[in-house]
Amino acid sequence: MIWIGGAPGAGKSTLAWKISRAYDLPLHPVDLWAYDHAGRLPPTAGLDDELAAGATRAADSFEADAARRLALVVEDVRARELGAVPALVEGPQLLPTFSGELPTGRGVWLVPDPAQTRNARAERLAAVPVDADRARLAALLGRDAVLADRTRTQALAAGQPVVDVPASPDWTAIGTAVEAPLGPALRTSPRLDAGPSLSTQRRFENGVASRQGQLWSAAVGLPDAPTFPFACECGRTRCAAVGPVTAVEYDTYAAGGPFVVHEHL
């Protein structure tokens, strides 16, 4: 595995997505396994109860949940049968304290300025207005700030690299800073072969996103299903095309064969 961790709102998903395309690596966002993992773990207190206990306690709960999910993340990546090709795993659940067995140069942690996290959450809410998320925004931002502080402290203690994400990020510079510690691993690791191997892994990733998206839409009761940038499954090296369709629309396309964006959209 190659890890991109860090507190919410740091731009991890976008950066990991770009790296996965540039290097033809399998992408594994932990957030897309939320419902799957919830079904495999004992029930926990709900998010609102956790947030009601205050920022510090909510951050403790988040970290405890991350610890429970770590074994599942490892299981999920193994089940992808990637051989020697590393999965690019990203998510706020990848705490620096868990990096003990990760070889050097295989992880990087982003620490967002609280203003950046606020902007990122506001953008997400504007794109997909979930009432429950709006109601808990202040509490989430309080917890996120604690998580960001802890990321820095833990990463320094673990000797892992940290990249700061300021309130008005220069994403090109941040992308360069994230790739710097990972550079040797990215350049020397085996990649997914163009053709069926790459196509199959993008299809797997789309399936994960579709399942999570449908469970999430149902859980939050959105009137209109949001679109998601489903990946092109053409299997060409470094293809970065996406088809912004709903999860149900994706499933319909996928039932007929690979979702090739150049053909469908």
Binding residues vs Zn ion (CB under 5 A): 232, 234, 239, 241
Q: What is the H or E stretch that residue 34 is in? A: helix 34-40
d(CA 80, CA 264): 27
Q: For residue 17, what are its two tokens?
A: 């997505």
Q: What value does the CA radius of gyration of the chain take, rounded to a whole number of Å?
A: 18
Burial 159-169 (b: 16+ CB within 10 A, else e): ebbbbbbeeeb
To Zn ion, the closest distance from the beta carbon of 203 in angstroms equals: 12
To Zn ion, the closest distance from the beta carbon of 240 in angstroms equals: 8
Give the nearer residue to Zn ion in terms of CB position, either 181 or 258.
258
To Zn ion, the closest distance from the beta carbon of 116 in angstroms equals: 31
To Zn ion, the closest distance from the beta carbon of 263 in angstroms equals: 9
Contact criterion met (CB below 8 Å) for 116 and 167? yes
To Zn ion, the closest distance from the beta carbon of 199 in angstroms equals: 9
Amino acid at 39: G
Q: How far is CA 192 from the centre of its chain?
A: 20
Give the nearer residue to Zn ion in terms of CB position, either 59 or 261.
261
To Zn ion, the closest distance from the beta carbon of 26 in angstroms equals: 16
User: Which contacts of 171-178 are long-range, i.e. CB under 8 A and separated by 24 or more positions?
Assistant: 171/11, 171/14, 171/15, 174/11, 174/15, 174/110, 175/15, 175/18, 178/4, 178/15, 178/19, 178/108, 178/110
